[in-house]
Amino acid sequence: MNAPTPTSHDANALTVTQAQALIAQTVTCVTTTETLPLKQLLQRVLAADVISPINVPAHDNSAMDGYALHHDDLDAKQLHVVGIALAGKPYTGSVQRGECVRIMTGAVVPAGCDTVVPQELTQQINQTISFEVNVVKSGANRRMAGEDLALGKPALKKGKVLTPADLGLLASLGIAEASVQRKLRVAYFSTGDELRSLGEPLAEGCIYDSNRYTLHGMLTRLGCEPIDMGVVNDNPAALEAALKTACEQADAIITSGGVSAGDADYMKQLLAQLGDVHFWKIDMRPGRPVAFGKINSNDRSAVLFGLPGNPVAVMVTFYFFAREALFNMMGASSRPLPVMRALSAQLIRKKPGRTEYQRGIVSRDNAGQASVCVTGSQGSGMLSSMSEANCIIMLEHAQGDVQTGDTVDVILFDGLM
C-alpha cells in the first residue's frame, strides 16, 4: 500500500476521499464461483455474462385485445373476421387482404398481419368489424420478437448484483441456474473490557455490545456471510488469537473499538506483527480513527477494517469505507450510493475541513420538494439518531454552515429493490 498523501504535518491524517482511494487500491476480487438455482440467486453477484439463448418475446405478439390486420386495409373501414388468436393458441390459417383475426393480448400476430387495432376502436357485427379510417399507425400494438431480450446478446452482465427483476428475467429466458461469486466471508468482533454480550448481567460501568448486531445487519444486507466472533477483551493475547482465527476463516475482518488514541498503541503493535495496517486519522465526523490494511496468518491473508467503537461511527465508517471495498471483493460492478438533493429545513452547524455525516429525515412537501432535517441528538454514540433517520446528510469537506433552505446531498437508507 502506498503511503498516504499528507494533508498536514501528520502523515496519518487523510480526507475521506484519500482514504477511499487507498482502500480501493488495496482490495482484490475473490475468484471462486458457484452455480446456484434461481431462487438462491437474489443479491448474489453474477460471475459471467448471461447470454440470451432465445428471443424474448419469441414471436411478434399483440399488446392489446383487438383485431390483427394488414395496415393497408385500414382504408377499407370494414373487414371480415376469419378466426381468433389467443395467448398460447395461435391462429394458424393465413389472413388474406380484406380479412382480420380477433386477437388477445400476448397472442402471436398471425402471418399476413402487421398491426393490431384495439377492440375499443372497433365495432363487431356478426363476422364483420368496422372502424374509423386510419385509426392506428402501421405496426401499432405489436410487440416485436426479441424486443425485450435478443437471442445471442448479453441479457445480464458479469458483476451484476441480482435483483428480483433479474430473477424474473432469467426465468423469462428459460434459465434455471447461474454462476455467481461465492459469498464473501467477513469475520467481525467487538473489542472492549466494558462490553457484555446479550444474556450476560451488566456490571457497573459496562454496556451491551451493540456493534456486532449492527455489523451483522449491514453485512447481511450487503450479501456477505457474517462470521460473529464475539467480544474480545482489551488484552494483546486475546486480540492476537482472535485476529489470527479471523484471518484464517475470512476474506475480510471488521473490528470495532480499540483504534482511538487511548487504545491504538496496543492494536498498532499487534497489527504491525501480523501484517501491514495503517492507523488513519480521517477528517470526518463521526469516525475519525480508522485502521485499514491486510494481515496474514498461516498462509492466509485478510483485509482488515479497524472501525472506531462508537456505534454511529461504526455504521458511518462501514458505509463510507467498507461497503465499496466489500463490493469490490465480491466482484460486484460499481454501485454508487443513492444520493439525492434536498433543501435543509434548518441551520446545520458544520466546520470546513472535514466531511460530516449527519443523520436526517427526508420528506417531500406538498409541492413535491424534498426537504431534510437532522434527527435529534447527533452524538456518535447515539444509535437512536440512526434508527430514527431515513437518510444521511453528507456535508462535504470544504463546506461550512448550512443555512435553512440551502441544498444538501442526502443518501437514502432504503431503495425500492
> Where along the sequence are the contacts to ligand AMP (CB under 6 A)?
190, 192, 194-195, 207, 209-211, 256-258, 260, 263, 308-311, 381
Q: Which listed option, ligand AMP, Mg ion, none, makes contact with residue 211 (CB within 5 to 8 Å by class)?
A: ligand AMP
Q: How far is the CB of 305 from ligand AMP (least distance, A)?
A: 13
Q: How far is the CB of 308 from ligand AMP (least distance, A)?
A: 5
Nearest residue to 30 (alpha-carbon basis) of 329, 411, 369: 329
Q: How far is the CB of 189 from ligand AMP (least distance, A)?
A: 9
Member of 4, 110, 192, 331 binding Mg ion (CB under 5 A): 192
Q: What angle separates helix 323-330 from helix 211-222, to the nearest 10 degrees?
A: 40
> Which is nearer to Mg ion, 191 or 328 (by Cβ)?
191
Nearest residue to 147 (alpha-carbon basis) of 59, 85, 86: 59
Burial class (CB in 10 A: 0-12, 13-18, 19+), 360: buried
For the CA atoms of the chain, what is the radius of gyration? 30
> Which is nearer to ligand AMP, 232 or 389 (by Cβ)?
232
Q: How far is the CB of 262 from Mg ion (least distance, A)?
A: 8
> Which is nearer to ligand AMP, 311 or 360 (by Cβ)?
311
Q: How far is the CB of 306 from ligand AMP (least distance, A)?
A: 9
Q: How far is the CB of 190 from ligand AMP (least distance, A)?
A: 3
State the DSSP H helix or E strand holding residue 252, giving kind and residue range, or none if neither.
strand 252-256
Nearest residue to 389 (alpha-carbon basis) of 288, 323, 312: 312
Q: How far is the CB of 213 from ligand AMP (least distance, A)?
A: 9
Residue with smallest beta-carbon separation from ligand AMP: 309
> Which is nearer to ligand AMP, 249 or 260 (by Cβ)?
260
> Which is nearer to ligand AMP, 189 or 327 (by Cβ)?
189
One symbol per residue from 277 to 316: x for binding Mg ion (CB under 5 A), - otherwise; what is it?
A: --------------------------------x-------
Listed ranges 116-124, 252-260, 348-356, 384-392: which one lies at the site for Mg ion (CB under 5 A): 252-260
Vertex 228, ends 240 and 46: CA angle to 5°? 110
Separation of alpha carbons 370 and 389, rounded Å: 15
Asked if residues 404 and 346 have their Cβ atoms less than 8 Å apart, the reply is: yes
**Omega prior to 57 cis, within 30 of 0:** yes
> Which is nearer to ligand AMP, 247 or 254 (by Cβ)?
254
Please count the other Cβ atoms lying within 10 Å of the Cβ belonging to residue 390.
Answer: 15
Burial class (CB in 10 A: 0-12, 13-18, 19+), 148: middle
Based on the shown chain and the rule CB under 5 A, indicate whether residue 257 belongs to the binding site for Mg ion: yes
Separation of alpha carbons 9 and 371, rounded Å: 39
**What letter does residue 74 receive in the DSSP assignment?**
G
State the DSSP H helix or E strand holding residue 33, giving kind and residue range, or none if neither.
strand 33-37
Q: Which amino acid is at 5?
A: T
> Which is nearer to ligand AMP, 198 or 416 (by Cβ)?
198
> Which is nearer to Mg ion, 43 or 310 (by Cβ)?
310
Q: Which listed option, ligand AMP, Mg ion, none, makes contact with residue 317 (CB within 5 to 8 Å by class)?
A: none
Binding residues for Mg ion, rule: CB under 5 A, are: 192, 257-258, 309
